Structure 1
Amino acid sequence: MALLTRTLMCFVIMTVLIELAAAATYIVGGTNGGWDASTNLQTWASSQKFLVGDTLNFQYSPSHNVLEVSKADYDSCQASNSIQAYSGGSTMIPLSSAGKRYFICGTMGHCSQGMKLEVDTSLATTSTPPPTASPAVNLAPQESPSSTLPPSSDTPLASSLAPDTSAASPSPVKAPELAFSPTPATIDAMSSTESPTSISRTGSSSEPSAAALLNNKDSLTLGFGVMMMLILAF
């Protein structure tokens, strides 16, 4: 709370100091004129810009005075109902509020001769410097440097990056062909080993030789004799 109070007091003091520094004191009628009937007071007032905090400095002779009056008394030069009356030859009147204020000389006939002043006071405005433009921030994403090396002339980039599919899909193995094509020599060898009773290529059977028939007959005789001996033995 104490810190807030001190801050407000500092702000008020700074405001007053700024107003005092910017305030101006105007000698009514200008340096070449004054509060008298010979000075064109209306032309002088219209060439000035009065602000809150400024001060009017009336310098006049003993035959004059300063009366602050209403708008109606100002227009009619009526001095009997003044808001404030000043005399003494030197009068300082601060302009503490915005708006119009009216002053006349209360000496008989002086107001109608031009000793009247209308002052329009405006609020003091402090000019603030334009805001400084902040530097533009580039929000675009920065491209990261490429981590891949440029492809060499010997190894193309496409072939180095392509996956090796040779191991994933093996080619089908063909079964060995069992076709048999006999040569003429094989045919002759096969024909030489055929039995006498085998069928020839022409489809006719070869007749048995005489030696083969005798051998078969002896075998039958021997077999018949052995069978008879076995029967007699039992």
Structure 2
Amino acid sequence: MLQLQNPFVLLLSSLFLTFLHHCSATQFIVGDSAGWVIPPYPTYYTNWTDSYFLREGDSLEFNFDTKFYNLIQVSQSEYEHCTALEPLKVFNSSPVNFPLKERGVYYFICSVSNYCTLGQKIKIYVHQSAPKISPTPSASPPQQKAPMISPQISPNGSVPQPSGSINPPPPSNVPSPTPGCPSSFQGKKFDIDVKLVCAMLGTFIGFWVM
């Protein structure tokens, strides 16, 4: 079953690619509605070429009356001198569909009478097809490391402490008790004991006197 499907899949793939190629290609009618004729002014076809951007795979269509005109593909030298001594291709029937298979410059003239010198010639610039650019994964930005700060030695030779170190807390303003001196609590306790002894002694004397 798989062997029967392979030729069918290949055929469909080729037809699909051909369809895409024809859909992406563009056919340009030289001279637009005027066609391939003696132009109204010498730079008519030059202006027409400058108004379009042709790529590989596009095509040209020349429409002309075969009773009065012809179409000849020539070299650059013969294009400039309006001669057709060594033509590359000669077309005597209309319309002419000329495929632009490769990028480069194509030269065409009409060799009838002096029509070429009157401006019936054209230079076609064909550009390369736009390449398909595959998306590239975005690179993660590099992580920045914290700068290392080396300690600076002061003029007296000591190394300063880093700014991030913890300073010791300031000393408390409350004075510590002096050894040998009783505290206020001890004084109160001594005072209470004296009063208690005096009270007991007074009670004893009063009881003895009575």
What is the Cα deviation at residue 126 of structure 1?
5.0
Q: Alignment partner of 1:73: what SS?
A: helix
Structure-2 residue corresponding to 1:70: 75
Could you list the per-position Cα deviations for residues 14-36 of structure 1 after superposition, in whole angstroms to 9, with x for gaps in the alignment?
Answer: 543322111111110113x2211
In 2: Cα distance, 1:130 partner to 1:30 partner: 39
Partner AA of 1:50 in structure 2: L
Structure 1 residues 82 and 73: alpha-carbon distance in aligned structure 2, compared to 1, 3 A threshold: same
> Within 5 Å, which residues of 2 pair with 1:90-129?
90-125=95-130
The answer to whether residue 35 in structure 2 is matched with residue 34 in structure 1 is yes
Aligned residues: 133
Q: Residues 106, 131 of structure 1: CA spacing in aligned structure 2 closer, same or farther, 3 A cutoff? A: same
Which amino acid in the other structure matches residue 68 of structure 2? S
Identity %: 23
Counterpart code for 1:37: I
Q: Which residue of 1 aligns with 2:153?
A: none
**AA of the residue aligned to 1:49:** F
Give the 3-state SS of the residue equivalent to 1:19 in structure 2.
Answer: helix
Partner of 1:45: 49
Helix, strand or coil: the match of 2:101?
coil
TM-score normalised per structure 1: 0.49
Distance in 2 separating the partners of 1:17 and 1:126? 18
Work out which of the residue numbers 74, 80, 84 in structure 2 matches 1:79.
84
Any idea what SS the aligned residue of 1:37 has? coil
Task: State the TM-score, normalizing by the size of structure 2.
Answer: 0.54
Deviation of 1:51 after TM superposition, in Å, equals: 1.1
Q: Cα–Cα, structure 1 residues 116 and 9, in superposed 2: closer, same or farther, change >3 Å?
A: same
RMSD (CA atoms): 3.1
Using a 3 Å threshold, how does the CA distance of structure 1 residues 13 and 89 change in structure 2: closer, same or farther?
closer
1:80 deviation in Å? 2.1
SS of alignment partner, residue 23 of structure 2? helix
Alpha-carbon distance, 1:106 to partner: 1.1
Q: Distance in 2 between matches of 1:94 and 1:14?
A: 20
1:56 aligned partner: 60
Alignment partner of 2:97: what SS? strand
Deviation at 1:38, TM superposition (A): 2.1
Look up the match of 1:204: none
Distance (Å, rounded) in 2 between the aligned partners of 1:92 and 1:37: 20
* Per-residue Cα deviation, 1:157-206 (whole angstroms, up to 9, x for no partner): xxxxxxxxxxxxxxxxxxxxxxxxxxxxxxxxxxxxxxxxxxxxxxxxxx
Higher relative contact order (CA 8 A, sep 6+): 2
Letter in 2 for 1:112: T
| 1:23 aligns to 2:17 (yes or no) | no
